[in-house]
């Protein structure tokens, strides 16, 4: 049995969570996965009523009692500066020490890429983004805000432990999956802290002689992702650069409506979330693309020890895309519910 904490989120987060749970429940029935879902109302409405995003003791409950957390998109304009989303999402990432942000970028159909002549499967890489350090730790602040003398400082934190464990995770995954290369993206020619990244990368790479280890400055890496995306298999990078590069990767393969992610630590409770936002302008219209959430659920199934089921779900999404059974952002006409129904049909059909 696997116990899953479900946080529907805000806006369209909840709208894509419901069909995702329908699909997971269908897979549970057909394959006997033993999935148990508990829903937690940690969205903006609750925050506005209570002023609490993540209740005291909740991290320990998730760590002790749950096998995974499935999180919908968060964000609500009524909450100043997205305080509740930051408290919940960063609270979970940092509190559960989920140091791996794993983002796959795979092209499912040639028509989805803005790049000319890139065929299905030709773009297929993953990004290992460091998830608990960098400037996202919140070290810094400002003085004399709102004046002409304002000074703002943000500190980028990199520790040997943090850098080494994300780099080792990238190499280990590449080896396990039969990949040929791992690329480090940094700015060690301009940011002194990134020299730590480069040294550790070279040290870890020495233990994987069968893998090609390439180092690229992140600006060059971004350029080459557009010019030659097919040359990348595994990218490892910092928290900030990973945040940027993964959205670039999403653009190359069809947009955020297809972008899944996992936040991982082998010794903690993993968190799974689609990358898109809560899209308040689309709420209640049935237009939002649920496929990123479906693919995110697939990552969760794989992490829970069901790789065959995860592949089955991804293949059903692929077949729906090939059949043009998609929402408007991908050139189709289906509603959110219509896409769910199409994917369910493909799950039931012979492979």
pLDDT tens readout for residues 280-293: 888 889 899 999 99
Radius of gyration of the chain (CA): 20
Q: What percent of the chain has pLDDT over 90?
A: 92
- Quick one: 145 exposed, middle or buried, by C-beta within 10 A (0-12, 13-18, 19+)? exposed
**Assigned domain for 6 exists:** yes
**Assigned domain for 27 exists:** yes
pLDDT band at 279 (very low <50, low <70, confident <90, very high): confident
**Assigned domain for 24 exists:** yes
Question: What average pLDDT does the chain have?
Answer: 96
Average the pLDDT over 295-320 and give the result.
Answer: 98
Compute the distance between CA of residue 170 and CA of residue 237 in angstroms, rounded to an integer: 10
Compute the distance between CA of residue 55 and CA of residue 82 in angstroms, rounded to an integer: 17
Render 186-255 in DSSP notation, one character per residue: E-TTT-TTHHHHHHHHHHHHTT-TTSEEEEEEHHHHHHHHHH-GGG-SEEEE-HHHHHHHHHHHHHHHT-
Show the 3-state SS of 6-29.
EECCCCHHHHHHHHHHHHHHHHHH
In the predicted structure, residue 272 carries a pLDDT above the cut 80 = yes
- Whether the pTM exceeds 0.85: the reply is yes
Per the DSSP assignment, residues forming a β-bridge with 70 are 6, 272
**Assigned domain for 31 exists:** yes
Compute the distance between CA of residue 344 and CA of residue 130 in angstroms, rounded to an integer: 34
**Assigned domain for 333 exists:** yes
Query: The domain containing residue 338 runs over which residues?
Result: 1-98+265-351
Q: Looking at residue 266, what is its pLDDT?
A: 96
Average the pLDDT over 177-203 and give the result.
Answer: 97
**Assigned domain for 305 exists:** yes
**Assigned domain for 313 exists:** yes
Q: Looking at residue 8, what is its pLDDT?
A: 96
Q: How many domains does the chain have?
A: 1
Residues designated as active site: 136, 187, 219, 243, 247
Q: Any idea what DSSP says for residue 134? A: B
**Assigned domain for 221 exists:** no
- Quick one: 267 exposed, middle or buried, by C-beta within 10 A (0-12, 13-18, 19+)? exposed
Which of these, 295, 324, 305, 325, lies nearest to 105 by C-alpha position?
295
The angle at the Cα of 61, spanning 55 to 66, to the nearest 5 degrees, equals 130
* CATH for 296: 3.40.718.10
Q: Looking at residue 351, what is its pLDDT?
A: 65
Average the pLDDT over 145-166 and give the result.
Answer: 96
pLDDT band at 62 (very low <50, low <70, confident <90, very high): very high
């Amino acid at each position: 049995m696997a116990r899953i904490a479900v946080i529907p989120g805000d806006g369209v987060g909840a709208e894509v969570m419901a069909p995702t749970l329908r699909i997971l429940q269908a897979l549970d029935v057909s394959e006997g996965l033993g999935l148990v879902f508990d829903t937690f109302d940690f969205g903006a409405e609750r925050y506005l009523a209570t002023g609490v995003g993540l209740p005291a003791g909740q991290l320990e409950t998730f760590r002790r009692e749950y096998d995974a957390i499935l999180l919908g998109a968060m964000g609500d304009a009524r909450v100043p500066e997205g305080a509740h989303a930051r408290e919940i999402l960063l609270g979970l990432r940092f509190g559960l020490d989920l140091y791996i942000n794993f983002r796959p970028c795979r092209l499912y159909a040639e028509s989805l890429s803005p790049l000319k002549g890139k065929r299905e499967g030709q773009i297929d890489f993953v990004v290992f983004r460091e998830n608990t350090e960098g400037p996202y730790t919140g070290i810094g602040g400002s003085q004399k805000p709102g004046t002409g003398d304002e000074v703002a400082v943000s500190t980028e934190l990199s520790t040997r432990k943090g850098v080494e464990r994300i780099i080792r995770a990238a190499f280990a995954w590449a080896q396990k999956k039969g990949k040929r290369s791992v690329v480090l993206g940094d700015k060690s020619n301009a940011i002194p802290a990134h020299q730590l990244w480069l040294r550790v990368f070279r040290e870890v790479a020495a233990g994987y002689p069968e893998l090609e280890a390439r180092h690229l400055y992140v600006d060059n890496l971004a350029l080459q992702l557009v010019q030659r995306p097919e040359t990348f298999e595994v990218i490892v990078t910092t928290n900030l650069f990973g945040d940027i590069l993964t959205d670039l990767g999403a653009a190359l393969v069809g947009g955020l409506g297809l972008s899944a992610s996992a936040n991982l630590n082998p010794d903690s409770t993993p968190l799974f979330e689609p990358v898109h936002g809560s899209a308040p302008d689309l709420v209640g219209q049935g237009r939002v693309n649920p496929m990123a959430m479906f693919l995110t659920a697939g990552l969760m199934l794989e992490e829970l020890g069901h790789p065959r089921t995860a592949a089955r779900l991804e293949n059903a999404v692929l077949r729906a895309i090939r059949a043009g059974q998609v929402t408007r952002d991908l050139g189709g006409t289906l509603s959110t519910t219509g896409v769910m129904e199409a994917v369910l049909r493909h799950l039931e059909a012979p492979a």
